[in-house]
Copies of this chain bind each other. A is one copy, B any other.
Amino acid sequence: VQNVLMRGEEATVGTRGRVRNRWGQGERLRAEILAAAGRLLGELGTVDGLTLRGVARQAGIAPASIYTQFADRAALIDALVAHEHEHVADLMRQAGEAGAAADPGDHAGIVRAQLYALCRYSLAHPGHYRLMFGGARNTNARYLVDELAGTLAARESAGARLRLPADRAAIVLLVGTHGRVAISHAQAETGPEELVLRFVDELVGLVFDGPVSGGPVSGDRA
């Protein structure tokens, strides 16, 4: 094999500057690649165009190096999705705990806190969110339903009154929130977070018994 330029040889920038990991630390590269893929997905906003070559550029490594950690492009994306699902599950759980700690009697408030957490994540990371919950991927969002249904059931035990069974209410809330978020993503200029949260307020109000709070939301033309 000669070191000669032929046909369409790459205009690779090269990998100068990177220090390779120490002996036995090879798997650190895996985390670096996932982080780079996450960054790139954040920039792109879509999983199309999330190429191995792009990830390699982000990570400052050679495209071939990705294959030391992942079988192929699909495996990398699967790993990214799994990683983010865990992150979202954490966010929801924490929001629920924090809400309950703040005011254990504010049933709707605790539910809102969990949905707010989901909304904030989805608005801050549209690309991640769409990769996880959009598209044709067989999304297993069961953990979200379970988490929220658990919260709702706990609220019922604490005296809250729902207009639907807890599990159905959880689905209405999540599906409704998902719909609002999806529409916010579809807008070229993602409207203010506030409008999404107000929509969630209305939804929560509809699910709990009593008058719907929320109030008039001016300007939401979603």
Contact = CB atoms under 8 A, between A and B. Distances in A.
Interface of A: 45-46, 48, 126, 133-139, 141-142, 145, 163-165, 168, 171-172, 174-180, 182-183, 185-188, 199, 202-203, 206-207, 212, 216-217, 220-222
A133 to B, nearest CB: 6
Nearest to A178: B179
B179 A182 contact: yes
- Number of identical monomers bound together in the oligomeric complex: 2
A176 to B, nearest CB: 4
A153 to B, nearest CB: 16
Contact of A137 (B145, B186, B202, B216): B186
A136 B216 contact: no
B172 A206 contact: yes
A138 B186 CA distance: 6
A164 B45 CA distance: 34
Contact of A207 (B134, B138, B142, B206): B206
Given A133-B186, A176-B176, A182-B182, 18 more contacts: A46-B135, A48-B48, A126-B136, A135-B186, A136-B185, A137-B186, A138-B187, A139-B186, A141-B183, A164-B202, A164-B212, A171-B199, A172-B202, A175-B179, A176-B203, A178-B179, A178-B182, A179-B179
A137, A142, A206: which has the most chain B beta carbons within 10 Å? A206
Contacts of A183: 133, 139, 141, 175, 178
Contacts of A222: 145, 171, 175
A187 B139 CA distance: 6
Contacts of A202: 164, 168, 172
Contacts of A163: 206, 212
Contacts of A177: 179
A48 B174 CA distance: 27
26 contacts: A46-B135, A46-B136, A133-B182, A133-B183, A134-B186, A136-B185, A136-B186, A136-B188, A137-B186, A138-B186, A138-B188, A139-B183, A139-B187, A141-B183, A142-B221, A163-B206, A164-B212, A165-B216, A168-B202, A168-B216, A171-B199, A172-B176, A172-B199, A176-B179, A177-B179, A206-B206
